[in-house]
Chains A and B, each alone.
Chain A
């Protein structure tokens, strides 16, 4: 059964396509953040991300009749945002680094995480530090592009594996492999700041499902 929000969304799309174009503003309101953050996490430049978010929404409007409702509207939007981000990245980087990315392979070798022996001494308050969020953003931005894309969609935007695979045009197995590599690369860079005996829960934000059992 479809949720009320989805039904409402489908109705909005129908009305926009039927000529009530100003309703497009309402249609995309829930996804303003999703689109911006996708672009920012990939591009790591506020002005580029904002301009790209605007272009994404304009492109979504112009291509709305091509949205068939087979994917979720949010996934469809993220796919457009990701393509916009890729386009801008290519432009900024030029061809040289792209070819390096393409030949990098899937990192078949075993990965060694950061091993910490004195991990109980890291205070929980460390996670509240503003700098740490900056360090995480920087570390995400340093991930090789193909790992960063998967991490952004799975762990920032919280798309599921199938949606992520569809948005990136890769298979689910590759999504899993790249996500694991991305997380382990981040762990290696950030572990000295992030380890603590008890996982941290962000105040005022519900814990995501898969962490639930750890807080019982």
Chain B
């Protein structure tokens, strides 16, 4: 099975999530090994996911936890500290 670039693009997510079946995976890997453009698309997509999972991308506001438990205390009662 030989894939064109545009077909590889449709499988980038499946590839990153390891959901491609064996035959398709082999074809995608063969293509990636030979195609700098698709390798770059894969790398940039993967980097987005790595950055997304970085805790610094979404940070909690200062004092968020305290205010949350303060408000909850009015509803459920004080935590035992």
Contacts and interface: CB of A to CB of B under 8 A. Distances in A.
Interface of A: 16, 21-22, 24-26, 28, 32-33, 36-37, 40-41, 46, 50, 53-54, 57-58, 61-62, 110-117, 119, 127, 132-133, 136-137, 140, 155-156, 158, 176, 179-180, 183-184, 186-187, 190-191, 194-197, 199-202, 205, 207-208, 210-211, 214
Interface string B50-81: 11111111101100110111011101111110
A180 B12 contact: yes
A90 B40 CA distance: 38
Nearest to A62: B75
Interface of B: 6, 9-10, 12-14, 16-19, 36-37, 40-41, 43-58, 60-61, 64-65, 67-69, 71-73, 75-80
A187 B67 contact: no
Given A58-B71, A184-B12, A195-B47, A26 B79 contact: yes
Nearest to A41: B58
The interface residues of chain A, by DSSP majority, are classed as helix
Given A184-B9, A195-B40, A200-B51, 13 more contacts: A24-B76, A36-B61, A53-B64, A54-B67, A54-B72, A58-B75, A61-B75, A117-B37, A133-B51, A179-B13, A202-B50, A205-B54, A214-B46
The interface residues of chain B, by DSSP majority, are classed as helix
Given A115-B41, A196-B43, A50 B67 contact: yes
Nearest to B79: A25
Given A179-B13, A190-B48, A119 B64 contact: no
A106 B65 CA distance: 38
25 contacts: A22-B76, A25-B72, A25-B79, A53-B68, A54-B67, A54-B71, A115-B37, A115-B41, A133-B56, A133-B57, A136-B51, A155-B52, A156-B58, A176-B19, A183-B49, A186-B45, A186-B48, A190-B48, A191-B41, A201-B50, A202-B56, A208-B50, A208-B53, A210-B16, A210-B17
B13 A176 contact: yes
Contacts of B58: 37, 40-41, 137, 156
Contacts of A199: 43, 46-47, 50
